[in-house]
């Protein structure tokens, strides 16, 4: 079992959103010393989040300031980008830092972003299909692929053998099937319960079997480790609830469906409290904790990890400890070190 860390660049300092490169690098270096496999960062083309518009640049910064730690983008919003440029940048990074870079791609879901970039939100599935086909052809050396402007240019021979892994972030059944067909692994979202991910994982494994491929799953989980469950909730609760409350306005009209809405991360079947939810301000940590977060003592972590490993069979957990609103960078480094000391060795056998 591998453990990786999701690292934010932004931080709220004295009420202002700012880039905190020092804390970003410190978390990557601490994770490397603690035995984590990789660090990851997400992409957001617009808006105020912990993600960044230039994840390839952040990847280069992290790789240059570590010696062993891998780095991954989870995920580039592929329908908003040129797929050949995305894979070219990924191949350059994996050439300079051999075997240490991994590309994650996803469809995105924010309508205003698609509108701003002149893209059709409803056509993102087709855009993902075509984009991944181009990415796979290009990283396999098929330089004859037509991208609408004629064949792409030949690969720079100086890069050598630099084929990076490509993972696929998907929430809905069609995306999970696409991950099995066209990507090296599947990335479930951090909002969904373990039970819902397990249902999709069954579909993913079946589709991988049809494709003759080995299923590979990396679970992204919100995480905080402390001496007791109560202390972990006190330290981590405000920041993680604030972050998840931002998803709720995007879920209106779908979350109360008796059967759940396809692709929605909150499902009344597994979250019965949704029936009484009207506003995101009503959201609480107690509602979100069950089967969703790794927040608590060592015993709580072990119980949740063992349950998810049995039900979902992931090869990796990607843990997000800090958001732009907290906890503090200093306290986060302590938790990273403790996870490396008290959790990772138990699951690395």
Structure tokens at 23: 């804390």
Helix or strand holding residue 97 (H, E): none
Q: In what order do the strands lie in the sheet with 218-225?
A: 185-187, 165-169, 101-106, 70-77, 38-41, 2-6, 316-320, 218-225, 294-296
On the question of pLDDT at 14 being above 80, the answer is yes
Structural domain count, the chain = 1
Tell me the pLDDT band of 188, cut-offs 50, 70 and 90: very high
Q: 265 lies in a domain?
A: no
The answer, as to whether pTM is greater than 0.95, is no
Q: 225 lies in a domain?
A: yes
CB 224 within 8 A of CB 327: yes
Q: 45 lies in a domain?
A: yes
Tracing tokens 């779908």 back to the chain, one arrives at 254
Task: Render 246-257 in DSSP notation, one character per residue.
Answer: TTGGGGTTTTT-
CATH number of the domain that residue 320 is part of: 3.20.20.30
Burial, 338: exposed, middle or buried (Cβ in 10 Å; 0-12, 13-18, 19+)?
A: middle
* 190: containing domain: 2-232+293-347
Tell me the pLDDT band of 259, cut-offs 50, 70 and 90: very low
Q: Which of 178-187, 192-201, 239-248, 325-334 shows the lowest per-residue confidence on average (mean pLDDT)?
A: 239-248
Q: 264 lies in a domain?
A: no
Tell me the pLDDT band of 271, cut-offs 50, 70 and 90: confident
Q: 155 lies in a domain?
A: yes
Q: 251 lies in a domain?
A: no
Q: 80 lies in a domain?
A: yes
Q: How far is CA 202 from the centre of its chain?
A: 20
- Rounded CA gap, 270 and 311, in Å? 15
36-49 pLDDT per residue, tens: 999 999 887 666 66
On the question of pLDDT at 268 being above 90, the answer is no
- Rounded CA gap, 255 and 272, in Å? 10
106-145 pLDDT per residue, tens: 998 778 888 888 989 889 999 999 999 999 988 887 766 6
- Rounded CA gap, 21 and 3, in Å? 22
Percentage with pLDDT > 70 across the chain: 88
Q: 249 lies in a domain?
A: no
- Rounded CA gap, 91 and 161, in Å? 9
219-230 pLDDT per residue, tens: 999 999 999 999
Tracing tokens 């998810």 back to the chain, one arrives at 308
Question: Cα–Cα distances in Å, from 83 out to 72, 76, 131, 147, 165?
Answer: 16, 10, 5, 9, 15
- Rounded CA gap, 348 and 238, in Å? 31
Tell me the pLDDT band of 34, cut-offs 50, 70 and 90: very high
82-106 pLDDT per residue, tens: 998 999 999 999 999 999 999 999 9
Checking DSSP bridges between strand 38-41 and strand 16-19, what pairing results, if any?
A: unpaired
CB 52 within 8 A of CB 58: yes
60-89 pLDDT per residue, tens: 999 999 999 999 999 899 999 999 899 999
């Amino acid at each position: 079992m591998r453990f990786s860390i999701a690292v934010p660049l932004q931080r709220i300092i004295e009420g202002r959103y700012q880039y905190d490169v020092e804390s970003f690098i410190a978390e990557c270096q601490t994770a490397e010393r603690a035995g984590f496999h990789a660090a990851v960062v997400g992409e957001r083309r617009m808006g105020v989040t912990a993600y960044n518009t230039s994840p390839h640049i952040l990847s280069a910064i992290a790789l240059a300031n570590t010696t062993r730690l891998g780095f991954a983008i989870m995920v580039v919003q592929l329908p908003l980008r040129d797929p050949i440029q995305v894979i070219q940048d990924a191949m350059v990074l994996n050439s300079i830092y051999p075997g240490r870079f991994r590309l994650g791609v996803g469809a995105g879901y924010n309508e205003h972003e698609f509108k701003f970039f002149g893209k059709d939100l409803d056509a993102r599935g087709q855009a993902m299909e075509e984009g991944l086909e181009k990415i796979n052809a290009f990283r396999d050396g098929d330089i004859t692929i037509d991208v609408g402007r004629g064949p792409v240019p030949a690969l720079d021979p100086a890069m050598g053998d630099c084929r990076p892994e490509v993972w696929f972030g998907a929430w809905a059944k069609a995306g999970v099937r696409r991950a099995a067909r066209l990507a090296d692994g599947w990335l479930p979202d951090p909002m969904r319960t373990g039970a819902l991910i397990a249902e999709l994982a069954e579909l993913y494994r079946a589709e991988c079997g049809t494709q003759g491929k080995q299923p590979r799953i990396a679970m992204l989980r919100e995480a905080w480790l402390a001496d007791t469950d109560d202390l972990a909730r006190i330290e981590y609760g405000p920041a993680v609830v604030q972050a998840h409350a931002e998803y709720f306005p995007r879920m209106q009209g779908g979350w109360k469906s008796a059967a759940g809405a396809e692709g929605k991360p909150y499902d009344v079947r597994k979250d019965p409290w949704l029936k009484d939810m009207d506003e995101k301000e009503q959201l609480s940590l107690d509602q979100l904790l069950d089967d969703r977060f790794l927040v608590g003592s060592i015993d709580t972590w072990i119980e949740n990890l063992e349950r998810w490993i049995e039900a979902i069979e992931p090869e990796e957990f990607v843990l997000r400890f800090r958001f732009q609103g907290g906890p503090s960078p200093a306290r986060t480094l302590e938790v990273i070190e403790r996870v490396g000391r008290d959790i990772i060795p138990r699951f690395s056998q």
